[in-house]
Amino acid sequence: MSSELAIIRVKNLRLRTYIGINNDEIANRQDVIINVEIHYPAEKATQSDNMDDALNYRTITKKIIALVENNRFGLLEKMTNDVLSIASEHPWVTLAKVEIDKPHALRFADSVSLQLCYQAD
């Protein structure tokens, strides 16, 4: 049988953090919406029920929550890169994408978002 590819998606993780460089942004937490996509080979996981054969999305999400809620970020690029580092840290990960939305960042837009990607060599 060919190797199965698993794609984990964490959709619309809503958190609050300090993000930005303006005085109001530095003083007040803002909402961010995080979307994460992680690709990894899942052949072992599809053939067993053993958690050791799969990536644990709960563990990954808890690390992302702790990072975002317990830190300050001047730039959306920095926060997105730090979240991407968590999403791609496991050696099984072949591709990871992180997109973070900053709602109400612009007056006439729903949000501003930034996406970064990681691909294993």
Q: What is the pLDDT of residues 51-79, one digit of tens each?
A: 888 999 999 999 999 999 999 999 999 99
Q: pTM of the entire structure?
A: 0.93
90: containing domain: 5-119
Whichever domain contains 28, its CATH number is 3.30.1130.10
Round the average pLDDT of the chain to a whole number and report it: 94
Query: Are 120 and 93 spatial neighbours (Cβ–Cβ below 8 Å)?
Result: yes
- Give the number of other Cβ atoms within 10 Å of residue 47's Cβ: 11
Predicted local distance difference test score (pLDDT) of residue 1: 44
Predicted local distance difference test score (pLDDT) of residue 2: 54
Torsion angle of the four alpha carbons 29, 80, 64, 52, in this order, in degrees rounded to the nearest 10: 170
Q: Number of folded domains in the chain?
A: 1
Mean local confidence (pLDDT), 90-95: 97
How many Å apart are CA 25 and CA 64, to the nearest integer? Answer: 21
